[in-house]
Amino acid sequence: MSSDNDRLIEALNENAGHYLKSGRLIEAGDTPFQSYEVWDTPQFGRLFRLDGFFMTSEGDEFFYHENLIHVPSICQIDPRRALIIGGGDGGSADELFKHPTMEKVTLVELDQKVVDIARRHLPKVHNGALDDPRLDLQIADGLAYVRTTAPAAGERFDLIVLDLTDPIGPAEALYTEAFFTDCKRLLSDQGALSLHLGAPVFQGERVAMLVTRLRRVFNTVRPHFHYIPLYGSLWGMACASDHIDPLRLSPVEVDQRLLSRGIQQLQYYNGDTHRAAFAQPNYIRQCLTP
């Protein structure tokens, strides 16, 4: 048995949580916004935490980023412009650039230090996406950015990705009905919002509340669920849109689109996982029924 001080522990609620053996500390410090640590862990290699919460790791990042990005974007005919709020590690941008029609990804990250850390320590998470010429990197508060941006009709976003810390503490205001409404204003006529919701088993009220808020703003809200190893649990995500519905694509159509777009190197996502992610056990259906 290892002692508590070689463990990185994350609480999922006040009664439960999970841990990973820490391994070697590579860098730690405080930014003007949050504290950070980069570890080299035996289970997942490089691992990044903010304020003591797991953000991403090079060993499991594909579970999170592939589903957050490809579930909505495969439903769009030609995803061309995307906005990521948060996501300074570059993992979401990397997945977006796999769609050959992608012309521009605007990434609005609050904390310059997160981008610096990712460039230095997390190359297997961003795979160079942070230096892709199609990336428009802006260090700013996503809340203010979404409120004040007024793109011309042809410059609206096909996808807005909330790749944010959990809706407790600083990011709380980016999970409100008002913020979702501001995001909707920026979406194109194939537009969708993609975000993560939390752990239905351990944070059921949070997941249900977010789905309710999204349903007040968007016509079609499709929660989907994936096991995310770093987060220690089944994790909810949602695709919210007035234009696309991920349930309309069959597994075969998803696989055909992946093939025709030349997206062949994914580690998680395929037509079967796309469809399966929307299959909800009864207790989750009940949790999500208003």
Which residue ranges make up the site for ligand AAT (CB under 6 A)?
A: 50, 53, 55-56, 85-89, 91-92, 108-111, 114, 141-143, 163-166, 170-171, 174, 231
The dihedral sign for the CA sequence 163, 186, 240, 181: positive
Residue 16 CB coordination number (10 Å): 12
Pick between residue 169 and residue 262 the one whose CB is nearest to ligand AAT: 169
Least CB distance to ligand AAT at residue 234 (A):
13
- Report the SS3 class of residue 243: coil
109 is in an annotated binding site: yes
CA 225 to each of CA 30, 136, 281: distance values in angstroms, whole numbers, following the listed order:
33, 30, 10
CA distance 175 to 181: 10
The helix (H) or strand (E) run that includes residue 161 is strand 157-163
89 is in an annotated binding site: yes
Least CB distance to ligand AAT at residue 259 (A):
27
Pick between residue 17 and residue 262 the one whose CB is nearest to ligand AAT: 17
State the DSSP code for 79.
Answer: -
Pick between residue 49 and residue 156 the one whose CB is nearest to ligand AAT: 49
43 is in an annotated binding site: no
CA distance 126 to 120: 11
Of 94, 111, 163, 182, which residue is the catalytic one? 163
Least CB distance to ligand AAT at residue 95 (A):
10
Pick between residue 39 and residue 231 the one whose CB is nearest to ligand AAT: 231
Residue 63 amino acid letter:
F
- Residue 163 appears among annotated catalytic residues: yes
CA distance 122 to 49: 12
Q: Which residue is nearest to ligand AAT (CB)?
A: 86
Least CB distance to ligand AAT at residue 166 (A):
5
Q: Contact at 8 Å (CB) between 236 and 209?
A: no
Q: Reading across the β-sheet that carries 24-30, which strands appear in turn?
A: 24-30, 35-41, 45-50, 53-57
Point out the residues that are catalytic: 163
**Binding-site residue set for spermidine:** 65, 89
**Binding-site residue set for S-methyl-5'-thioadenosine:** 34, 109, 141-142, 170
**Binding-site residue set:** 34, 65, 89, 109, 141-142, 170
